[in-house]
Chain A
Amino acid sequence: MPPSPEPIPRSDEILNRFRSEGGVGGGDAHLVGDGSTTGGRRGRLKIFFGMSPGVGKTYAMLAAARRLAGQGVDVAVGVVETHGRAETEQMLLGLDLLPLVEVAYEGSRFQVFDADAAIRRKPDILLIDELAHSNVPGSPGGRPKRWQDVEFCLRAGIDVYTTLNVQHLESINDVVRQITGVKVRETIPDRVFEEADEIELVDLPVESLHERLRAGKVYLGESASRAVDPEDGFFRGGNLAALRELALRRTAAWVDRQMHRYKQDRGIRAVWPAGERILVAVSPSPMSGKLVRAARRMAAGLHADLIAVYVETPRTVHLSTQDRERLEENMRLASALGATTETIAGSNAARELIGFARARNVGKIVVGKTARSRWRDVLLGSFVDTLIRLSEDIDIYVVRGDDDASVASASRPVHVPEMRRWNGYAASLAMVGLVTLLGIFVFHGFELANVAMIFLAVVVLAALWFGRGPAVSAAVAAVAAFDFCFVAPRWTFAVSDIQYLLTFAVMLGVGLLVATLASRAREMARRAWARERTTAAQFAVARDLAAARDAGEVASIAVRHAHDLMHSDAVLCRRANSGESALEVLAASGTPDWFEGSGSEPERERGVARWAIDHGRAAGAGTQRLPSSAGHYIPLIATAGTVGLLGVRIRRGASPDIDPASHDIAAIQAIATQAASALERVMLAESQQASQIAAEREKLRNALLSSVSHDLRTPLAGIAGAASTLEQAGVLDASTKTQLLRTIVEESSRLNDIIANLVFATRLESGAVDPRREWTTVEEVVGVGLARHRQALTGRSFRVDIADNVPMIKVDNAMFPQVIHNLIENALKYTPRDSSVGITSWASEGSVVVKVWDEGPGLSEDESTKVFERFYRGRSDAQSRSRTGTVASPAGMGLGLTICEGIVRAHGGRIWAEPNSPRGASFLFSLPIEYPQPMMPTREEAVSESERAS
């Protein structure tokens, strides 16, 4: 028996029922079904939930209603806004429409929904469109909002179907306004949504919605004029994408909560995916541990996933040993607290964090409060400020406890990229100017050689801070300023003393040299950092790929990493089996239209990809071949040749960091190399498995053909013989007749069994085993499997033992009992009549195990492995084996166990034999426990009639 959920008190439910009946006043409301006492329940609410008007919620609701009405369910339409659309109007045909009531308000007349009438009508399911609608004042019932009408109907025990757009949820009203700039006035309390019994998400890709908009298929109400423009208004692509995400997340959160409730009910501890993700920024600081713990508490409260991230920047590449140890300790702590840990690299910690958070759909970032002095923040910019400035829709939580360690201090290079170009030149020239002024007014008594030294120092600083170009310009400017302002004759560029020409030359030369050296040092640091970044990425890829089990998994891992690395769309494909030139896309990230879409550009991209895969050389952007294409394509070359292709879309000019010729390409190349060998590994395994299966099938096919001829004929011979003897009825006495008749019946049923097994064997052989899996219990399967053995089992010592904690299994109910049937048949056949046989079942380590045991002679070690081979027959059959072809086996071709194996495997399980203790043999099979287990009905108390009466 599967564990039943905790008993849930039903008293309040019953109370509610009486209340609602009192309110309705109808004396017939409590006569549910056949008059048993199960009714009185609150109606179930199903919400068809969508991101925006026009996705087809009403249509989906009506379609579901029609389906149910077709099955004989009493469906009534309370109110549905068709907005005059023929498509929707048509869906209403044949449904029972409840009459609307006319209400006058401010000089106009409105047709409104009447909940009381609906309750009097008492349908099984009532459709009430647009949950967030506000009622016209004066509507029947006097409830201002439609959701209150809905609750009223639910309380009366009527199931309600309704529709809702995400922007009408109260808690995200603000968010929606931020995204769309539209303030939604009609909202419903989140509670109504949370408590819904079923949510059906009606989803539509943004492009499709735009198409519908353009085709005029969406009713827009009064806001039509400003909303209709797909480029600018409410239906702008960005808006819709955000609303769609909100809708998806809310639905996911709802499902999560259901799952959570279910898990709590059933005491399941396994970690299930949750909707929300929280990111915590970790640093080598000793305070970071506190920060991680705080984030963990927050994540636990929100049932969110926690990701701990350390951002490595050029400045933090070289941490002290002590810092590195502390960092590792902090990351270990995070990992121990259940967080996923990641190290990312980038030039700007805040920017990288936000980018990473967006890539992983993180909604909240937790960072530590820094203990840095105010003036440093003012001068250099605060990490937290930058983070908040960039965060947009991501919430930033600043928690006390982290001092300013590397994460925060890494915010300094934020100025570098912008200053590198023109500001660098301006700043170095300004520095030269400043020194010139200082020289004129402060150092006028100094030796000219010393002044020259100061100029040189400026050049060196410019080289260090701003790079080569600004340093060269500073050198030239310094020489010019020195000549003009200090070297006699002053205020001219003329030079009286020829020896100053040497000074100029040395100044210029030293300046250029220093500039070159400094910029080279900078370049080396940058490369070292890039290498670090590549290595980290490679390591992560290798780690993930090692766990991949099939080509699809390998592809999606490679694509995800390529995407993360390049911040751009990636795609992994291989040659399709059909058609020599076609490509099969195994995985793609982001919006794959640039590659997979129709039109000339994606077509061209695919052409470039085909070239790359055919020639085994990289092509596309960043290469010599076809560099004008959007993507950079790397063939995945493994030992046996090209196994696939990794393509990355290069975003030109999107970020100065991404230069198609740079280290990023090298990193992508590294991913490609690893993906290639991983892909080859899984493809080899797949093909090996395929050829093994093919060989097995061939063997089975041959064996089947040869056995059909003689094994089927044996019972047939018995039947024919007995029947023809009976034909000469005159010469037989009554007892012989009975005996012959029994032979006919028994042999027929044996023939039937053989045929059943043959059918299964043929299905297994043709690979046509596609189990129609349904939830069921082990008892049920055992019961059906034993049904045809009832005769044989009577009089034998036989028992069934199924542990209480065995969960439900998902199997094909027509196929799976054959396993039990065959195992029992096997046990009965090879054991003496006076020995015990039995079935035991229990749950262990994620599997349900069923054991069919006997106390017969048992199996030899050699036999334990051989029994599942096709047509192997046990010892009691030794005689027939030695005389193959003359005597049929009692086993009906020895197919039984093979079929068990085939059926169990088709269900993802495992079957094996082992000795039974103290004696005999046992055959065991295990099936993985499927999650989530199905929702269970509420446990009730048993009552007898006498108790009920009192």
Chain B
Amino acid sequence: MSGSQLGRAQPLDRPVHMPLVLIIEDEEPIRRFLRATLEANHYRVKDAGNASDGLLLAVTAYPDIILLDLGLPDGDGLEVTRSIRKELHVPIVVLSARGQETDKVVALDAGADDYLTKPFGVGELLARLRVALRHAAQRGGRSTEPSTLYRSTIDGRSLAVDLDARLVHMEEAGGKREIRLTPMEFKLLAFLVKHAGKVLTHQMILKDVWGPQHVNDVQYLRVYAGELRKKLEADPAQPRFVITEPGVGYRLLAPDEL
């Protein structure tokens, strides 16, 4: 298969404003709904109803992003993820049902960039696509330097992080104040900011923030996520910025510009 060459030879004359989404999903109604929604939101869409068509389109159609259902009739979604990942760097967002937390983690480990739990709303879908596309663009070096500034607003509170200056601020009705973090809390927040909006598994976070020998010390993460929430959230029991993905990991609220 010459896919790897195809994958690397990115054509340069594609229209950049309308990203191409490849949907690999066996359920016709879901495909129809996704196509309608995405086209209405200025995406170009190609779809495939099974794994083999999907793989073929993935390497021939140069999609900008792939939406992949984990339960395909002719192949394990995980296998598809691995096959695509072997050839291409295109972002993959996995669609899965609730109760498949282990599968989600495995898919993320296999190279998927994010996931959506069925049933999902349109807002959620579009947000995931934007985040995945943006991170892919930064990774591919096709946009400017990855931003070291993060700003996100929810419920009238704005969290602003400047990674270079190592400054964290919270703006709310009462005014703007600096938030003091311990070095480890900052390191954790920095890693989340770098992947803002994208799900990060426990292992990814632990490996990056505490080092590879701590990949199984989930309790570290729990403690620090808790500390971070105490400092950032209005109500730590109902977090809005540092969001738990149960059984999978954490996600930082996507930045305002997305």
B180 near A776 with CB under 8 A, answer: no
Contact mask for chain B residues 220-249; partner A; CB cutoff 8 A; 1 contact, 0 none:
101111100100000111110000101100
Cα A73 to Cα B212 with chains together (Å): 6
- Check B183 for interface membership: any CB of A closer than 8 A: yes
User: In the complex, how many angstroms separate the beta carbon of A45 from the nearest chain B beta carbon?
Assistant: 11
Flag if B187 contacts A38 (CB, 8 Å).
yes
Contacts of A44 in B (CB 8 A): 213
Contact, CB under 8 Å: A817 / B246: yes
- Interface pick from B39-47, B84-92, B97-105, B126-134: B97-105
- Do B237 and A813 touch (CB < 8 A)? no
Q: Indicate if A738 sits at the interface (CB-CB under 8 A).
A: no
Name B226's contact: one of A779, A787, A943 (CB within 8 Å): A779
Q: Which of A786, A944, A945 contacts B238 (CB 8 A)?
A: A786
Q: Give how many B residues have a beta carbon under 8 Å from the other chain's beta carbons.
A: 45
- CB pair A945–B165 under 8 Å, yes or no, is yes
Contact with A along B104-139 (1 / 0, CB 8 A): 000000000000000100000000000000000000
Which listed residue (A2, A38, A946) contacts B183, Cβ 8 A?
A38
User: Is B222 in contact with A776, judged by CB distance below 8 angstroms?
Assistant: yes
Question: Does B30 make an interface contact (CB < 8 A)?
Answer: no
Task: Please judge, given known A-B contacts A124-B211, A944-B178, A945-B165, whether A777 and B237 are in contact too, CB under 8 Å.
Answer: no
In the complex the two chains form, what is the Cα distance from A752 to B215 in whole Å? 34
Q: Are B238 and A34 in contact, CB atoms less than 8 angstroms apart?
A: no
In the complex, how many angstroms separate the beta carbon of A618 from the nearest chain B beta carbon? 51
A940, B222: Cβ atoms closer than 8 Å: no
Identify the closest chain A residue to B225 (Cβ).
A780
For B55, list chain A residues within 8 Å (CB).
none
A36 near B: Cβ within 8 Å?
Answer: yes
Query: CB within 8 A of A37: which of B183, B238, B239?
Result: B183
Is A800 in the interface zone, CB < 8 Å from B? yes
Shortest CB distance B220–A (Å): 5
Is A185 close to B, CB under 8 A? Answer: no
The answer to whether B187 and A33 have CB atoms under 8 Å apart is yes
* Minimum distance in angstroms from B124 CB to a CB of chain A: 13
Decide if A752 touches B223 in the complex (CB within 8 Å). no
A936 → chain B closest CB, angstroms: 6
Query: Judging by beta carbons under 8 Å apart, are A943 and B182 in contact?
Result: yes
- Verify if B32 is at the interface (C-beta below 8 Å from A): no
Partner of B218 from the list A73, A775, A782 (CB cut-off 8 Å) is A775
Determine whether the beta carbon of A36 is less than 8 Å from that of B223: no
Mark each residue of chain B from 173 to 192: 1 if its CB lies under 8 Å from any CB of chain A, else 0: 00000101111111100110
Chain A nearest CB, measured from B70 CB (Å): 15
- Among A775, A777, A783, A936, which residue has the most Cβ atoms of chain B within 10 A? A783
Q: Nearest chain B CB to A156's CB is how many angstroms away?
A: 15
- Selected from B208, B219, B238, the residue in CB contact (under 8 A) with A808 is B219
A-B contact count (CB 8 A): 127
CB under 8 Å from chain B, chain A span 805-843: 808, 812-814, 817, 839
Q: Is the CB of A36 within 8 A of B218?
A: no
- Contacting residue for B223 out of A46, A813, A937, CB 8 A: A937
Q: Are A940 and B237 in contact (CB under 8 A)?
A: no
CB pair A783 B218 closer than 8 Å: no
Q: How many residues of A contact B (CB 8 A)?
A: 56
Q: Say which residue of A812, A937, A943 sits within 8 Å of B180 (CB atoms).
A: A943
Q: Judging by beta carbons under 8 Å apart, are B182 and A813 in contact?
A: no
Q: Residue B219 contacts which of A125, A772, A839, A936 (CB distance < 8 angstroms)?
A: A936
Residues of B within 8 A of A784 (CB): 244, 246
B223 near A802 (CB under 8 angstroms)?
Answer: no
CA distance A943 to B211 in the complex (A): 22
By a CB distance below 8 angstroms, the chain B residues around A790 are: 238
| Nearest CB on A from B186, distance (A) | 6
Pair B180/A942 contact, Cβ less than 8 Å? yes
For window 182-217 of B, CB contacts with A under 8 Å fall at 182-187, 190-191, 207-208, 210-213, 215, 217
Q: Residue A748 contacts which of B119, B225, B244 (CB distance < 8 angstroms)?
A: B119
Residues of A within 8 Å of B222, CB to CB, are: 775-777, 780, 808
Residue of A nearest to B118 (CB): A752
B6 at the interface (CB under 8 A from A): no
Query: A783, A793, A808, A940: which contacts B244 (Cβ < 8 A)?
Result: A783
When chains A and B are docked, how far (Å) is the Cα of A787 from the Cα of B98? 15
* CA of A839 to CA of B236, assembled, Å: 13
Given A934-B217, A942-B180, are A814 and B101 also a contact pair (CB < 8 Å)? yes
Q: Closest chain B residue to A940 by CB distance? A: B182
Q: A940 to B184, Cβ gap below 8 A?
A: yes
B233 to chain A minimum Cβ distance, whole angstroms, is 9
Q: Is the CB of B219 within 8 A of A33?
A: no
With A814-B247, A940-B182 as known contacts, state yes or no: A786 contacts B237, CB within 8 Å.
yes
Contact A4 B187 (CB under 8 A): no
CB pair B190 A774 closer than 8 Å = no
A845 within 8 A of B: no
**Residue of B with least CB distance to A816:** B246
Asked whether, in the complex, the Cβ of B180 is within 8 Å of the Cβ of A814, the reply is no
- Say whether A935 contacts B217, CB under 8 Å: yes
| A814/B223 contact (C-beta < 8 A), A44-B213, A124-B211 known | no
A911-950 interface bits toward B, Cβ cutoff 8 Å, 1 = contact, 0 = none:
0000000000000000000000011110011111110100
A-side contacts of B187, CB under 8 Å: 33-34, 36, 38
Selected from B98, B183, B191, the residue in CB contact (under 8 A) with A940 is: B183
Query: What is the CB-to-nearest-CB distance from A431 to chain B, in angstroms, rounded to a whole number?
Result: 77
Inter-chain CA distance A772–B104, complex, in Å, is 14
Contact partners of B225 in chain A: CB under 8 A: 780
| A1 touching B226, Cβ below 8 Å | yes
Q: Which of A734-765 contact B (CB under 8 A)?
A: 748-749, 752, 756, 759
Q: Beyond A748-B119, A777-B223, A808-B219, is A33–B208 a contact (Cβ under 8 Å)?
A: yes
B61 at the interface (CB under 8 A from A): no
Shortest CB-to-CB span from B8 to chain A, Å, is 22
* B178: chain A residues within 8 A (beta carbon): 944-946
Complexed CA–CA distance, A944 and B165 (Å): 11
On whether the beta carbons of B226 and A777 are closer than 8 Å, the reply is yes
Q: Are B99 and A759 in contact (CB under 8 A)?
A: yes
Determine if A783 and B217 form an interchain contact, defined as CB atoms under 8 angstroms apart.
no
Whole-angstrom CA separation of A752 from B99 in the bound complex: 12
Q: How far is the CA of A790 from the CA of B213 in the complex (A)?
A: 37
Q: Check if A944 sits within 8 Å of B212, measured CB to CB.
A: no
Quick check: is B167 within 8 A (CB to CB) of the other chain?
yes
- Whether the Cβ atoms of B213 and A36 lie closer than 8 Å is no
- A276 beta carbon closer than 8 Å to chain B: no
Find out whether the CB atom of A36 lies under 8 angstroms from the CB atom of B186: yes
Q: A44-B213, A775-B219 are in contact. Are A937 and B238 (CB under 8 A)?
A: no
Q: Are B184 and A38 in touch, CB under 8 angstroms?
A: yes
Query: Restricting to B131-181, which residues have a CB under 8 Å from any CB of A?
Result: 163, 165-167, 178, 180-181
Check: A68 CB closer than 8 A to any chain B CB.
yes
The answer for the CA separation of A782 and B222 in the assembled complex, in Å, is 13
Interface contact B186-A124, CB-CB below 8 Å: no
A783 vs B219: C-alpha distance in the bound complex, in angstroms? 16
Question: Can you list 22 A-B contacts with CB-CB less than 8 angstroms, sorted by A residue number?
Answer: A36-B183, A37-B183, A38-B183, A68-B212, A159-B211, A159-B213, A775-B218, A775-B222, A777-B222, A779-B226, A779-B229, A780-B225, A783-B239, A784-B244, A784-B246, A787-B238, A800-B238, A839-B237, A934-B219, A940-B185, A941-B182, A945-B166
Known: A779-B229, A802-B237, A934-B217. 18 other contacts (CB 8 A): A36-B183, A37-B183, A73-B207, A124-B211, A775-B218, A777-B223, A779-B237, A780-B226, A787-B238, A790-B238, A813-B247, A839-B237, A935-B217, A937-B224, A940-B182, A941-B182, A942-B185, A945-B167
Which residues of chain B have a CB within 8 Å of any CB of chain A? 98-99, 101-102, 119, 163, 165-167, 178, 180-187, 190-191, 207-208, 210-213, 215, 217-220, 222-226, 229, 235-239, 244, 246-247
Residues of A that sit less than 8 Å from B by CB: 1-2, 4, 33-34, 36-38, 44, 46, 68, 71-73, 124-125, 159, 748-749, 752, 756, 759, 772, 774-777, 779-780, 782-784, 786-787, 790, 793, 800, 802, 808, 812-814, 817, 839, 934-937, 940-946, 948
| 5 shortest interchain CB distances as A-B pairs | A814-B247, A800-B237, A73-B212, A940-B182, A934-B219
